[in-house]
Amino acid sequence: MKKILYIISLVALLISCKENNSENAPIADNLVDHAESSVSGSFKSGRGGDMIDQIYSELIKSDNNLKVLDDKINDANREAIQVIFKYKEILDKSESYYHDAQYHTDAISDSILKNELTKSIKASSDQYSLKVKNIKDLISQIDVNEKKMNDLYTAFKIRKTLPEIEKYQQAHPLKTDQLNIFINKQNTLLKELKNLK
């Protein structure tokens, strides 16, 4: 019985929407007051994505200091990748070598030879690890600094865009007209359905 009522409701709703299409257009225009805020352009674009970045990119267009800061952050992130890449490439090759050497050593059937090679590989690996410990610590520090920098910049962008979304909300207060009209239509339809026998 519930399915039948649901289908009847859906059909009646569709018919009602088609019949009142001309009425709905002005109501849809009446959803919000169409005032502009300083970042309204970021909302009109219709593109999906991160609202913080969209609003912030609108702010950057009109504030050269923000643009300079954004360029500095992006340049620092790119440079960090380039600087670290050169070091990590060498470190990764050495680690891969030791891993592969141990893998091949494990396949050797002569246990004495296997033990000798395992000790040699470990001694070389340990010696290299001590040699590059300072390099790894510095790379680690770059990673930590980059994370802190990006965290602080994210916090800055949120603080900068919060007032903008609040301005947008104030410039576009939602009205209840369309919702009330639709609820009235639903109530009428519910009454009709209750009276069905």
Burial of residue 125, with CB atoms counted within 10 A of its CB: 0-12 exposed, 13-18 middle, 19 or more buried: middle
Cβ count near 186 (within 10 Å): 14
Residue 40 lies in a domain: no
pLDDT of residue 173: 87
Residue 195 lies in a domain: no
Instruction: Return d(Cα 105, Cα 121) in angstroms, integer.
Output: 9
User: pLDDT grade, residue 31 (50/70/90)?
Assistant: very low
pLDDT of residue 197: 75
* Bigger pLDDT: 27 vs 49: 49
State the chain's mean pLDDT as an integer: 84
Instruction: Indicate the range of 15-19, 57-61, 138-142, 153-157 predicted with least confidence.
Output: 15-19
Q: Which tens digit of pLDDT belongs to each residue from 122-161? A: 999 999 999 999 999 999 999 999 999 999 999 999 999 9
Q: Report yes or no: 157 and 56 within 8 Å, Cβ to Cβ.
A: yes
Q: Which tens digit of pLDDT belongs to each residue from 67-122? A: 999 999 999 999 999 999 999 999 999 999 999 999 999 999 999 999 999 999 99
Residue 135 lies in a domain: yes
How many structural domains does the chain have? 1
Instruction: Return d(Cα 120, Cα 190) in angstroms, integer.
Output: 84
Q: Is the pLDDT of residue 26 over 50?
A: no
Helices 64-106/51-62 angle, 10° precision: 140
Q: Report yes or no: 161 and 55 within 8 Å, Cβ to Cβ.
A: yes
User: pLDDT grade, residue 19 (50/70/90)?
Assistant: very low
Residue 91 lies in a domain: yes
For 82, the domain range is 64-173
Residue 88 lies in a domain: yes
Q: Is the pLDDT of residue 52 over 50?
A: yes
Residue 31 lies in a domain: no
Q: Is the pLDDT of residue 6 over 80?
A: no
Tokens representing 160? 């900068």
3-state SS of 45-87 is CCCCCCHHHHHHHHHHHHCHHHHHHHHHHHHHHHHHHHHHHHH
pLDDT of residue 22: 42
Instruction: Return d(Cα 61, Cα 67) in angstroms, integer.
Output: 7
Residue 58 to residues 63, 128, 161, 165, Cα–Cα distance (Å): 9, 50, 10, 12
Tell me the sheet residues that pair with 174: 32
Residue 153 lies in a domain: yes
Residue 82 lies in a domain: yes
Tokens representing 170? 């104030």
